[in-house]
Each structure stands twice: as structure tokens, then as C-alpha cells.
Structure 1
Amino acid sequence: MHASFESIHNIHETAVIEAVQALRSEYPAVEAELLPDVACVALNRLPPRYIRHSVDLAFYQAEREREELAALQAQTVRQAFEFVQARRAMRARC
């Protein structure tokens, strides 16, 4: 019998991608082709948490934990934008 692992994902992926898209206009110096880099920087700074089904997370996570996680994700995405923006500026000066 064959096991499928396609349903496993990091809980931060969707939220980080949505935050990158939502905050994009606040960082006009970060070109569109760098947005995946911003997402990767943010995801690498967040503690990994994997689930199989999003409904499992909604069921087992308390409202306060959801709010804290959303705030952490938003803060981390802003830091990632700042990091990528600073690296781009540094490269432009060289």
C-alpha cells in the first residue's frame, strides 16, 4: 500500500504568503520577483509546525493562540521585508 504525504504542510505557509501579498504595497523597493524570497525568509524565521489538515489546527488551537500566531506571522513578514529590502539596497551600492 502506498502512503501519500502530500497533505502535510507547514501551518505558516498560507498565512505568510497572504501577509506578503497584503504588505507588498508598503515596500515598493522590493520587486515582485523578490516576494518569494521575503516569504522564504519569514518562513525560515518562524518555528516549524506541520499538520495534515487545516481543520485539525482550527479544532485544536485556542483563539488566543491563533491571535498570537497571527501577530507573530505578521511581525516576521515585516522583518523579512526589511531584511530583503536592506540586502537589495546593499547590493545596489556595491
Structure 2
Amino acid sequence: MTLDDDIHNYYEHLILERIQTLKLDKTKSPDYLADLCCLSLNQVPPRYIRFEVDMAFYLPQNERQQMEMNVVHAIEKAQKFLDQKKDNED
């Protein structure tokens, strides 16, 4: 068994989904997106899973909504930080 192939943090999926919803993957650089992901993931608790389907069947709806709200807030906070950092560099 290799850990990196079998186990992952479900929040990674939610963060990437939110980035696509906001179309940031179309408007921001790969470096910005990498920083955004790291900053956002560091703000949410890890939720490790083996299979995506497990979360679909066993995660209560209210917990899923809370996780999505956590992602919204984490990305907003990370964007503000990155945008302020960029403004200060200019």
C-alpha cells in the first residue's frame, strides 16, 4: 500500500471544486492557484478518505454544507491575503 495513492484529504476536492466554480482556474496563474490551495487547506480541518463515493453515501447533508461553507470562507480569506500581498509588492 502506498499512502499517497490510497488516501487523500476530501477538502482538496472541495477546494478545487470551489476554484472551478469561481473560474479562478481561468483567470489566475498556476502559482497563485497553488498558493491559494495551500493557504485554504491550512485553514480547514483534514478529512481523510479512501474513496469519494464514501463521502457521498455516508456524509450527512448538514455536515457537507458545513464543509462547503468552511471552503468558501477559507478561499475568501486566502484570496484577500494573496491580493494584499500582490498590492504591497506593486
- 1:53 paired residue among 51, 62, 81: 51
TM-score scaled to structure 2, two decimals?
A: 0.82
Unaligned stretches of 5+ residues in structure 2 = none
1: distance between equivalents of 2:78 and 2:19?
Answer: 9
What's the CA shift for 1:88?
Answer: 1.1
**Number of matched residues?**
86
Identity %: 31
2: distance between equivalents of 1:8 and 1:80?
Answer: 25
TM-score scaled to structure 1, two decimals?
A: 0.79
What's the CA shift for 1:22?
Answer: 2.5
What's the CA shift for 1:77?
Answer: 0.9
Which protein has the bigger helix share? Answer: 2
- 1:38 paired residue among 14, 33, 36: 36
CA RMSD of aligned residues (A): 1.8
Structure 1 runs of 4+ aligned residues shifted over 3 Å read none
What's the CA shift for 1:41?
Answer: 0.5
What's the CA shift for 1:84?
Answer: 0.8
Secondary structure of 1:12 counterpart: helix
State the structure with more CA Rg: 1
Alignment of 1:71-86 (within 5 A): 71-86=69-84
What's the CA shift for 1:87?
Answer: 1.0
